[in-house]
């Protein structure tokens, strides 16, 4: 109760009769709503990205784990329909190591990122060529 009194006093801007206008309550409501909704939207977006990452995984892809280990997938082991492990090979030619990780340890698929960048570059080049052809006509 004391918190509300202090809050009302701060919002009253030194007026004699401290009170909060309906507009101020509306602004505060929108801010609280934004603070609650924004993380849900970003969490849903990240969840979709993680799901796409896990479903597009192939043997031979270069990946990075959450711990920062970079390697090439040599085997994907399906323990159950929802649980998979992957084995990566990392290191240089004579000092290679083979490590086994749970699928949840996967941070990014570097091969997929390279493919997406190349595809975006091709589309941008095609759009540039089409624009130049249209301009020349």
Tens of pLDDT along 29-79? 888 888 988 888 888 888 888 788 778 888 999 999 999 999 999 999 988
Q: In the CATH hierarchy, which fold is given to the domain comprising 58-136?
A: SH3 type barrels. (2.30.30)
Is residue 137 packed enough to be buried (19+ CB in 10 Å), middle (13-18) or exposed (0-12)?
exposed
Give me the pLDDT at residue 75, please.
92
| pLDDT score at 54 | 78
Q: What is the pLDDT of residue 14?
A: 53
Smallest CA-to-CA distance from 20 within 33, 6, 2, 36 is with 6
pLDDT above 60 (res 17) = no
Question: Where does the pLDDT of residue 119 fall: very low under 50, low under 70, confident under 90, or very high at 90 and above?
Answer: very high
Give the residue extent of every domain in the chain. 2-49, 58-136
Does position 8 have pLDDT exceeding 80, yes or no?
A: no
11 pLDDT above the threshold of 70: no
């Amino acid at each position: 109760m004391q918190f509300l009194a202090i809050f009302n006093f701060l919002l009253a801007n030194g007026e004699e009769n401290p009170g909060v206008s309906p507009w101020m309550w509306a602004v505060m409501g929108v801010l609280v709503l934004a603070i609650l909704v924004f993380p849900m939207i970003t969490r849903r977006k990240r969840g979709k990205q993680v799901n796409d990452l896990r479903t597009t995984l192939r043997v031979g892809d270069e990946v990075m784990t959450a711990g920062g280990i970079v390697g090439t997938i040599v085997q994907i082991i399906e323990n159950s329909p929802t649980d998979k492990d992957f084995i990566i090979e990392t290191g240089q030619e004579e000092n290679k190591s083979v490590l086994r990780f749970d699928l949840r340890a996967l941070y990014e698929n570097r091969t997929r990122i390279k493919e997406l960048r190349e595809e975006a570059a091709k589309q941008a080049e095609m759009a540039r060529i089409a624009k130049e052809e249209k301009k020349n006509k």
